[in-house]
């Protein structure tokens, strides 16, 4: 199965003005004693560029929901049997890990009396467990109903950015990584969180730093990202629910082997054996 998304010409091609500006930035860097690699890194858009961010959302959705249509996932909810209770929404907010509680609280602050507000006491009680106590049988139905509300959709967007996307991009930029590296951080943060356990994002990064330096410390970007992905695979294999590492092996490593550090289209990859394309 191949899932295809074709970018519009305005996204796929750079305008002449953009190209000239980028060339000027690189030339200025040379005059200031900045290497061409550093100039290219500075000129290339990061993952927070709107077009790159849209790509990131589709990449994660291909792994989380087997679809490039990430906006269709606002209504998604199920217990996938990973010990985290209900998993739901565009980024897999979980009733057992606290981020779903934070999301529903934000939504209730913005839209008092919404259909999910009554579940806040239950969400507080089940936090840290896989229990459905106080949520069944109607919570999934009410989640899907709430997902029709644009205020709930925006709350999901905002919590995704606050908890996962923005911290990952900021950390990636601090480490001197371009869009692909920033995405590798984002995808790891989405799956593993940033707690103190050995498989958390921060400890995956620490594991990578034992064998390679990021660009900001003078290291080679590709070498460092390979080390980070090695550490990510190790972390995934510590948990049966995450033991399929195709989102690294046949997605992120494919881009890395091709030297696509800026995550430029076209992109072709596989997750769980399904093929995807962004043109």
- Which domain CATH number covers 246? 1.20.141.10
**φ, ψ at 228 (rounded to 5°):** -65, -45
What pLDDT score does 23 carry? 31
* Cβ contact 142:7 at 8 Å: no
> Quick check: 22 pLDDT over 60?
no
What pLDDT score does 26 carry? 35
What pLDDT score does 241 carry? 80
82 catalytic residue (yes or no): yes
By residue range, what is the domain housing residue 152? Answer: 2-278
Q: Which of 38, 49, 54, 82 is labelled catalytic? A: 82
What pLDDT score does 86 carry? 98
**φ, ψ at 239 (rounded to 5°):** -135, 125
What pLDDT score does 39 carry? 54
What pLDDT score does 239 carry? 87
149 catalytic residue (yes or no): no
Share of the chain above pLDDT 70, in %: 85
CA of residue 86 relative to chain centroid, distance? 19
> Quick check: 38 pLDDT over 70?
no
Q: Alpha helices, DSSP H only, in 175-220?
A: 179-192, 201-209
Residue 97 has a CB neighbour count (10 Å cut-off) of: 19
What pLDDT score does 242 carry? 84
Domain count, the chain: 1
d(CA 258, CA 266): 12
Residue 1 has a CB neighbour count (10 Å cut-off) of: 8
């Amino acid at each position: 199965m191949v899932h295809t998304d074709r970018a519009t010409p305005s996204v796929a091609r750079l305008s002449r003005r953009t190209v000239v500006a980028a060339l000027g930035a690189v030339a200025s860097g040379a005059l200031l004693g900045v290497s061409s690699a550093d100039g290219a890194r500075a000129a290339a858009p990061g993952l927070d560029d709107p077009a790159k961010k849209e790509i990131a959302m589709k990449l994660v959705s291909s792994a989380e929901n087997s679809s490039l249509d990430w906006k269709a996932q606002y209504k998604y909810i199920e217990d996938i049997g990973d010990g985290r209770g209900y998993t739901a929404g565009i980024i897999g907010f979980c009733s057992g890990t606290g981020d779903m509680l934070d999301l529903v609280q934000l939504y209730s602050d913005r839209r008092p009396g919404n259909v999910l507000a009554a579940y806040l006491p239950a969400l507080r009680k089940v936090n840290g467990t896989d229990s459905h106590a106080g949520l069944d049988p109607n919570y999934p139905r009410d989640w899907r109903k709430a997902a029709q509300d644009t205020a709930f959709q925006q709350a999901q967007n905002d919590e995704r950015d606050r908890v996962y996307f923005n911290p990952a991009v900021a950390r990636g930029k601090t480490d001197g990584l371009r869009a692909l590296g920033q995405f590798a951080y984002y995808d790891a943060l989405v799956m593993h969180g940033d707690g103190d356990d050995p498989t958390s994002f921060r400890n995956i990064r620490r594991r990578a730093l034992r064998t390679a330096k990021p660009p900001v410390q003078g290291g080679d970007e590709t070498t460092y990202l390979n080390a980070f992905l090695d550490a990510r695979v190790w972390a995934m294999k510590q948990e049966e629910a995450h033991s399929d590492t195709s989102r690294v092996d046949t997605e992120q490593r494919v881009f890395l082997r091709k030297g696509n550090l800026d995550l430029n289209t076209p992109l072709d990859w596989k997750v769980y054996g399904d093929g995807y394309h962004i043109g």
